[in-house]
Structure 1
Amino acid sequence: MKNTKIVIVEDEAIVAKDLRNRLQKFGYIVSGVAASGLEAINKCLEFCPDLVLMDIRLKGQIDGIEAAHEIHKHLDIPIIFLTAYADDKTLARAKITEPFGYLLKPFKERELQINIEIALTKHKLEQQLKTHQKWLSTLLNSISDGVISSDFEELVTFMNPVAESLTGWKIEEACGRNSSEIFNIAHGETHEPVESPLKKVLQGGNIVGLPAETILISRNGAEIPIDDSAAPLKDDQDRITGAVLIFRDITERKQAIEARQKQVEQEQLVAQLAEINQLKNEFLNLLSHELRSPLINMKVMIQMLQMSIASEENQRYLEMLEIECDREMALINDLLDLQRLESQSRPMLTPDVLVLEQWLPWVIEPFQVRVQEHQQTLQLNLPANLPSLLSDATSLERILAELLNNACKYTPSGGEIILSIDHNPSEIPPKTIITIRNSLEIPTAELTRIFDKFYRLPNADIWNQGGTGLGLSIVQKLVEQLQGIIQVESSDGWTTFRIILTDLVATAN
């Protein structure tokens, strides 16, 4: 090889000179000549030659074998020993340094040249192999998949860091163990063992994959869903020498698939609910037309009969029919109102400036006659300097009417109904609190259901009080649309409904 630099280590000057001449004759460059082991080390560190011809017996405390050992610590240089000694002890010591040649003196010129060329070629091939191995090792250690290789006996020969992490085994512990012990897999649902893909590859010689729902059971018992494939390793004669397994943790993939499946199911559910809601709306619209019209006609006919029939008993029956018609009409109206409130995602509200000192007496006026008939009292408590409230007058009037109607129905004779207002300007935004109290105590267990649809107090029939059981559900929806809060409590013989409101404009901002 041209421009090959060689260092000669020989303590006999005549032999060293002869070697120099022969090497130069071959076309090699002699970078330096050393007569001792220490000098040889220094020459190699100085010139970094391509090859060293090393005599074993040298002057000084360090012989050629020790010098070679020290050189290998710092430099990757092929060394050929030139010696007159071939005893077993010397040979055993020399083998430890992994020399590229061992020539016994005297040797022929052609033998020397052949050994040098073989050593240089072998070293070059080893360097290429080391480079490829380093490249392969870097590649396997940097990929995100786990890699395990085995020999033909299914014994582990390699694992990359990802495989170590997933299996819980370090490569130092795993190498030499059966791959099935390290790569412990089972079915995700049944937990039945799954045959190792490495074993299948070694038996069949084909690339194989894992069945669906396979989990890896790590050394600490953790279960990891995985996907993988295994392939055979073959030599130049196409004979199987082992197998390699590549696998990956698919936990995130499964979670993404499950999340997407849930999303699809939710979208389907939303579509189904929208369809059901549409059907409900169509049904209620039909109900409104088909039931309201006959009831209105029935009520008109009842009124006509009342005017034409003089019998007191007949009049009583007609009054009962009219009451039942009114009850059915109220139920239909409440159903339609509740359906409208529940289906409105963005309610159409008309903010009005309500001067509560004037507006509230107007709202409760229709109930004053009613409470007098039942020997009840209806009291309105308003604080001084009560500011106006910006709210939807129609919705708020319906809320108060429903609550006052319930209070009148369930308050016993001689009982009290109190409507009061409280305003707290220090809060941001300021809040207006409307409280309606009546002298009736409701069991605590019933309070949790009081806003449910069609719910009525257990003793409502005993009190002979009718109703649809939808009034408080409508109240709750209306309060929510006004962006307020409604609360209820009952103790010490009193039931209190508390409505907390803010100005609609302030809430929107």
Structure 2
Amino acid sequence: MFEAPMDSATFRRHLLRLCWVPVLALFLLCLLLGYELDRITMAAQWVDHSDRVIAQMNQVSRAIADRQSVLRAYLLTQQPHYLHAYIRDQAAIRAGFDDLRQLVADNREQIAAVDQWSRDYQAWSDLDPRSVAQDDRSSLLAYLQSQKIAMHQALQDRETMMRRELELRERRTVVLERLDWMSVLAFFILAIGVGALIVWRTTRTFHLVHTGYDQRVNEAKSLYEETLARRQWLDTTLRSIGDAVIACDAEGRIAFMNPVAEQLTGWNEAEARGLDLSAIFRIVNENTQLAVENPVEKVRRQGTIVGLANHTLLIRKDGAQIPIDDSAAPIRNSDSNLIGVVLVFRDITAKKETERALLRAEKLASAGRLSASIAHEINNPLEALMNLLYLTRHMDNLTEVHEYLAQAESQLRRISHIARQSLGFYRDSTVRSTFSMRGVIGQAVEFYAARAAMQGVRMEVAAASDVYVFGSADEIMQVLSNLLANSLDAMPGSGIIRIHLRQTTASPDGRADGVRLYVSDNGNGIHPEQRQQIFDPFFTTKGTTSTGLGLWVTQQLIEKHGGSVAVRSRTQGTWRGTFFRIYLPQTPGTGSDRKPNHAILEPAPDESGPRS
């Protein structure tokens, strides 16, 4: 017959039945045995009570017989001490009757018999032997005859009471014997019944327990085989994937490494197993060479999935450095307790080379786009210089010649300034130092001032106080150039570009002081369906006039400085325009490590910072 699988609760219930059924049956047998023993004990006590009554009656009878003998001795000898003994024994016999009366206090018939016996004895005792005259045979015979009649009546009372007590003892004995064999028979029958019940119930329960045990064993075996198969499958999968995988226990000791992890770290799994992760997974910041917090320690502390900071290098066993990108996630058991951490990382050397190539391409493209503007800026003072030289060549007045030469020198200084400004903006500088944000903003605004004036766009700069940032001033200049160029492209007619700088007490993740830079305009804005793509490389809405790398480069440079960028935009309404919010740390290596380091902000009227 098909039996449904037994769950844990049912299995435990059957086990309890297997243990408690015999115990309960034995408990019932003990109760019955105790009850029967109580009844037998009670019956035996009643038989013993009858024996004590009979013994007391015999004791009183012996006392009366002894007193009667003392009386005969007195009557024959007339000795006073016999009379004294006869009188003395009267009190003992009365006490005997009192004890006998207490013993039969539960039986009215016997109480009446004791009272009758006591009265008849008292009638015999009331015959005073001192009333018999000495040497008077007739009075003696009369006294003896009266005594005999009184004693005969007392003896009859005693025999009647004794017969009743013996009959009562016999009945009680019969009851006791009947209880004895009935108890034995009942106990035997009940023992057989309980034993049969125990055997039946235990056999049935044992069968169920055995069946459940077999099911549990089979389930455990199947689960073991399935777990083993899954483990082998998972082990094969982890060893076959293209990313490096390292698994650690809850203490951060290495338990597993796949071949890619062995290749990237320079350690093989056998020698790394059991070691602390920090011993083989050493990571530093690419720009500062400062140690980066171990992601496994961060997972153990936070209990969530975490990723590495951007620009992170892995130091191999042989000392070589590899740029990597990774994430670490907690491993939890069914009770949500942390039992380990898995670390997945990959070599991004090729990606870094591609990004650097794209950055160089964007710089070249930016230079090409602005070459016309620079040529226009230089052309104006060159034309003025040529005119001044022409006039000077035809002048004879030395004073006027000096005046024209001074004007020509001014135009040459203007040309030199424009050249230095352009070369400084586009040189590939990797020097990192502490620089003034207000100075960088001033240079960027000055660079685009002429173009903004031609378009009728007003640029407003607000900085409560000058702040300093550690990094590359040229790269931050390029960030501002990209944002200002985009704003000017979005405003073919007149408009306003606002640049606001302020110091902040905490970064977006609440870990470091820094500065916030806001760049906003009231241009055409970015359509909602395009906002999620504006930081993707090669995405552009300007057709062939743009490479689509400007904002991607902006994001890369800001992340390189450990900062973050967020954007908010509207294409219509009062708040039309685009708003960029940039955070930069003031000290090296304190930026946020959350990826990606950009966000799309929903338009909100209570957004802090400048409005467009």
TM more than 0.5: no
| Higher normalized contact order (CA 8 Å, seq sep 6+, divided by chain length) | 2
> Which structure shows the bigger proportion of residues in helix conformation?
2
Pick the structure with more strand per residue: 1
Could you state the TM-score of these two structures normalised by the residue count of structure 2? Answer: 0.33
TM-score normalised per structure 1:
0.38
